[in-house]
Amino acid sequence: MFNLMKTAVLMAAITALFMAIGSVLGGQQGMAIALVVALGMNFFSYWFSDKMVLKMYNAQEVDASSAPQFYTMVRELAAKAELPMPKVYLINEDAPNAFATGRNPQNAAVAATTGILRVLSERELRGVMAHELAHVKHRDILISTVSATMAGAISMLANFAMFFGGRSSDGRPANPIAGILVMLLAPLAASLIQMAISRAREFEADRGGAEISGDPQALASALQKIQRYAQGIPLEAAERHPETAQMMIMNPLSGGGLRGLFSTHPATEERVAKLMAMIPQRV
C-alpha cells in the first residue's frame, strides 16, 4: 500500500511539473493541454515504460537455451523469493550493471549487462540478481520505471520551452526569464523527485537481496567490484538517457559535480557497511 501511495505522489508531482511548463508555454490553455498530455504520459508509462527502457538499452531476451546458467540462476532465485518467473534480458555492454523493470511482479523483467556476467563470480552475480528481484518483490520497480520515463519527457519539454518560448493566456510572448527558469528548474525538480525515493529503495533492495540469496557478503563484494570496474567503463545507453540511471544497481553515469551531488544511489561504502552488519557474528 505504501508503494502505491508513493507512485500516486510521484505521478501527481510529475503532472504538476508538466502543468507548470505548459503554463509558461501557453498560459492557462497551455496548462490545460499539458495536463492532458501528462495524464496520457502517466497512462503510457504505466503500461509501456518497461518496454521503452529495455529498448533504450537494446536488451535482448534470453531463455534456458540461449543463456542456461544465467536463466537458471534467476529462476532459482525467483522461486526462493516466491515470485513469478520474470522475463530475463542481456545487454551487450562492457560496463557491469543490472536493473529490474515492469509494472508488477506478474509483468516483471530483469536485465544485466554482459560485462557484469564477466567480472562477477557466480556467487556475486546471485547477490546482484537477488537485489533486482527484491525490487520486484517490494513492488517498487514501477516507481523507478515511470519516473525515468517522465523525467526524460520533462527535460525535453523544458528544452522546448527554452528554445521556442511561449505565450501567456492573452497571447503575448512569455517572459524569456521564465522560460530559462523552467529549463533549469523543471529537470532539477524531476531529479529531486527521483532522488527522494531512490536512495531508501536501494537500501531496502540490498537488504531484501541479501535475504533472498542468503549471502549478504556476496552482494557487498559485488557492489565493490562493480564500482571499481564501472568507473573506467562508460555505459553508453545510460549516458544518452541519464534519467534511467536510477534504475541501475550502481550509478552508471560518468563525471562528478552536480551529477554526483544529486546521485540517486547511496554511497557504496554505506551500502556495503549495512550488508556486512547483516552477517551473523560468530561466538
Identify the CA nearest to 264 among candidates 250, 280, 276, 275: 250
CA-only gyration radius of the chain, Å: 20
> Can you tell me the distance from the alpha carbon of 150 to that of 208, in angstroms, rounded to the nearest whole number?
27
**Residue 237 lies inside a defined structural domain of this protein:** yes
**Residue 43 lies inside a defined structural domain of this protein:** yes
**Residue 262 lies inside a defined structural domain of this protein:** yes
**Each residue's pLDDT tens digit, 123-142:** 999 999 999 999 999 887 77
**Residue 77 lies inside a defined structural domain of this protein:** yes
> Can you tell me the distance from the alpha carbon of 258 to that of 171, in angstroms, rounded to the nearest whole number?
37
**Each residue's pLDDT tens digit, 39-50:** 676 677 677 778
> Can you tell me the distance from the alpha carbon of 22 to that of 17, in angstroms, rounded to the nearest whole number?
8
Q: What pLDDT shows up at residue 13?
A: 73
Q: What pLDDT shows up at residue 240?
A: 86
Domain hosting 134: range is 2-276
Residue 192: CB atoms within 10 A of its CB come to: 12
Average pLDDT over the chain, rounded to an integer? 80
Confidence of residue 56 (pLDDT cuts 50, 70, 90): very high
**Residue 177 lies inside a defined structural domain of this protein:** yes
> Can you tell me the distance from the alpha carbon of 262 to that of 188, in angstroms, rounded to the nearest whole number?
9
> Can you tell me the distance from the alpha carbon of 237 to that of 190, in angstroms, rounded to the nearest whole number?
20
**Residue 95 lies inside a defined structural domain of this protein:** yes
Q: What pLDDT shows up at residue 234?
A: 83
| Count of alpha carbons within 13 angstroms of residue 14, beta-carbon side | 30
Q: What pLDDT shows up at residue 257?
A: 46
**Residue 281 lies inside a defined structural domain of this protein:** no
Tell me 282's DSSP state.
P
**pLDDT mean over 185-190:** 68
**Residue 70 lies inside a defined structural domain of this protein:** yes
Regarding predicted confidence, which is higher, 17 or 77?
A: 77
**Each residue's pLDDT tens digit, 87-128:** 999 999 999 999 999 888 999 999 999 999 999 999 999 999
pLDDT at position 258 over 50: no
Count of domains for the chain: 1
**pLDDT mean over 168-178:** 54
Known catalytic residues are 132
C-alpha cell at 33: 493541454
**Each residue's pLDDT tens digit, 9-21:** 766 776 677 677 7
Confidence of residue 2 (pLDDT cuts 50, 70, 90): low
Residues above pLDDT 90, as percent of the chain = 42
Residues 6+ apart with CB under 8 A from 232: none
C-alpha cell at 186: 523543471
> Can you tell me the distance from the alpha carbon of 42 to that of 165, in angstroms, rounded to the nearest whole number?
25
| pTM for this predicted structure | 0.77
The sheet that has 60-62: what strands, in order across it?
60-62, 87-91, 109-113, 98-101
For Cα atoms 79, 81, 83, give the angle at the middle one, nearest 5 degrees: 65
Q: What pLDDT shows up at residue 271?
A: 96
| Count of alpha carbons within 13 angstroms of residue 189, beta-carbon side | 19
Q: What pLDDT shows up at residue 28?
A: 66
Confidence of residue 74 (pLDDT cuts 50, 70, 90): very high
Confidence of residue 183 (pLDDT cuts 50, 70, 90): low
